[in-house]
Amino acid sequence: MFTSLVESTRPTSGELCQKSIEELADRLYKNLKGRRYLIVMDDIWDTKAWDDVKRFFPDDNNGSRIILTTRQSEIAIYANSNSPIHHMSLLSSNASWNLLRKTVFGQEDCPSGSKKIGWKIAHNCKGLPLAIVVIGGLLSKDNKQKDWEQIAEGINSAVSRNVGDQFMEILSLSYNCLPHHLKACFLYMGIFPEDYEIYVSQLIKLWIAEGFIKPVTPKSFEEVADNYLKDLINRSLIQNLQTLSEVTDFKCTEEVFKIMPNLKKLGISYFHNKHTKWSSYEFDSFAYLHHLETLKCLFIKKDYRADKPLPINLAFPQNLKKLTLSGCRISWKKITVVGSLPNLEILKLKHHAFEGSIWEAKEGEFTKLKYLLIYMTSLEHWRANSTHFPQLRHLSLSFCFNLAVIPSEIGDIQTLELVELFECSPSAVASAMVIQEEKQSLGNDRLRVRVKTLGDYYNSDNKTSLKKVHRTLSESTRITFRELESSSDNKKVCQLI
């Protein structure tokens, strides 16, 4: 939790995972001190949890607020007896039916023969939104009238018990209707602690090791497991999904994203070839993830040279704070779709994410951007001034062999603290040094310029490996994002990515 809070207050470069709880808490306090903030703490179960964190939220009498949600009114009173408590009411019958209908049918109309039994099912959920969505995920897989009637009867028997038993009975009903091959996979998720980030690749390997995945010719075990996970998501059983990382070939449709409305972090890789049909992916549907804050989208060519832009249209949610794009080869003229994001703070453009020789920045874009990474690009001329990136703090350029110079006006950005160059053109390096010298001549010693090459990492331990990496990087048509990051021998080099 502290890691997420610290990341939301200031951009980081990945070092937080090595910090202790005490160090993270101290960093959080310092980041918030003197600032006006709004923090939402969801689903607090006991008073100790509140006691453990409240001292790290400075009270400077500047209008800062903390919103706390809990299922127990005593905890709300304990947190602050002087503040009003808002008691959430249950959904009405009409609202329950509308939620169930949208969960099951999306934008389509409900068949006339299903309305009566559907209304009964919604009514029997007693206004509990989570129960309605869980049952909706179950109904979306069963369109037979008799199956709906059985589910309605099961809910009817469940609601005769107390609230806790009601809810467990409804969840059990949804579990019991799962196909046999999904039950073990679903239960296995219980080994992870609450709020734990489960990487898809890790979860799939564990499922395979446990023997949960059955071979389906001609698909690999990994492909079958990936389909299992998508099926569980479609059934709304992974209800409060907030992080989905390292998933491959994920179809970004409006219907899929509406099943996971609380998603905050998403990482997807697409392995494509010349036969890939991009029209079925609907990448502009990212915009439906209204709570998404972090997105990593990697396009990796499998067996052909992809020098042409991919025929895709991208759109992003307005709340997005961190964005990583790789291999898209979109024209720099279309970067407005990224620059117009009002809350974007961290942008990483890798492996020709944008393609072309000229990037002409526009006023009014990237208004909150603090960190910009451009890694491996054909960019030659970058035209920008201090008004285009008014809050930029850290600029990192890697393998920008063709970039002539860094715009001199970039040095006029008041917030800029660090410019990093790794394996860039001599002229780009020289322009960075000129910017630093000009700032120093004006008495500004805060701006640092850091220049590195592969030779800086050269030593006897990885001599052969680094020569191989250098040779491979010079032949960009033969390298993929995954190949570079997966090499343990080149760990030091990959830390720059």
Give pLDDT tens digits for 314-336.
Answer: 788 888 999 999 988 888 988 99
- Which of 129-133, 167-171, 291-295, 459-463 has the highest average model confidence (pLDDT)? 291-295
307 band by pLDDT with thresholds 50, 70 and 90: low
Of 306 and 46, the structure prediction assigns the larger pLDDT to 46
Residue 458 above 70 pLDDT? no
Burial class (CB in 10 A: 0-12, 13-18, 19+), 321: buried
Q: Give the burial string for 72-94 (b: 16+ CB within 10 Å, else e).
A: eeebbebbeeeeeeeeeeebeee
- pLDDT number for residue 172: 64
Q: The sheet that has 448-452: what strands, in order across it? A: 243-248, 265-272, 294-301, 322-326, 346-350, 371-375, 394-398, 418-422, 448-452
**H or E segment to which residue 65 belongs:** strand 65-68
Return d(Cα 361, Cα 493) in angstroms, integer.
30
Do residues 69 and 63 touch, judged by C-beta distance below 8 A? Answer: no
Task: Give the pLDDT score at 479.
Answer: 33
Nearest partner of 319 among 295, 353, 298, judged by Cα:
295
pLDDT for residue 481 = 31
User: Is the pLDDT confidence value at 470 over 50?
Assistant: no
Share of the chain above pLDDT 70, in %: 74
* pLDDT at res. 277: 63
Is pLDDT larger for residue 258 or for residue 38?
38
Task: Report the run of H or E that residue 247 belongs to, with start and end.
Answer: strand 243-248
Average pLDDT over residues 157-182: 62
- What pLDDT does 391 receive? 94
pLDDT score at 489: 36
For the question of whether the overall pTM of this predicted structure is more than 0.75, the answer is no
The pLDDT value recorded for residue 392 is 94
Task: Name which of 193-207, 346-360, 449-463 the model is least confident about.
Answer: 449-463
pLDDT value for 270? 79
**pLDDT digits over 185-215, tens only?**
888 887 887 667 777 888 889 999 999 998 8
Query: Is the pLDDT score of 152 beyond 70?
Result: yes
Tell me 414's DSSP state.
T
CB 273 within 8 A of CB 252: no
Question: Amino acid identity of 258?
Answer: K
155 has a pLDDT exceeding 50: yes
DSSP single-letter state for residue 249: S
475 pLDDT above the threshold of 50? no
Q: Can you say whether the dihedral through the CA atoms of 230, 198, 203, 248 is positive or negative? A: positive
Q: Is the pLDDT of residue 394 over 70?
A: yes
**pLDDT, mean over the chain:** 78
Mean pLDDT of 78-91: 78
Please answer whether residues 26 and 5 qualify as being in contact, where contact means their C-beta atoms are separated by less than 8 angstroms: no
312 phi/psi in degrees, rounded to 5: -130, 150
Q: Which residue has the higher pLDDT, 155 or 443?
A: 443
> Within the chain, what is the greatest distance between any pair of CA atoms?
81
Mean pLDDT confidence for 356-380: 93
Let me know the angle formed at the C-alpha of 482 by 381 and 467, rounded to the nearest 5 degrees: 75
Residue 457 has pLDDT above 70, yes or no: no
Counted residue by residue, the chain has a size of: 497
Angle, helices 21-32/2-9, rounded to nearest 10 degrees? 30
Question: What is the domain partition of the chain in residue ranges?
Answer: 2-79, 93-177
Residue 53: pLDDT over 50:
yes
Tell me if the bond preceding 193 is cis, omega within 30° of 0. no
Pairing of strands 371-375, 394-398: parallel
Of 161-170, 377-386, 424-433, 461-470, minimum mean pLDDT range: 461-470
pLDDT exceeds 80 at position 39: yes
CATH for 93-177, among 3.30.43, 1.10.3210, 1.10.8, 1.10.287? 1.10.8
pLDDT category, 251, cuts 50, 70, 90? low
Q: Is the pLDDT of residue 463 over 80?
A: no
Q: Is residue 274 scored above 80 in pLDDT? A: no
CA atoms within 13 A on the CB side of 344: 25
Q: What pLDDT is stored for residue 374 in this prediction?
A: 96
Q: Give the DSSP H or E segment for 359.
A: strand 358-360
d(CA 350, CA 371): 14
Structure tokens at 418: 């660090």
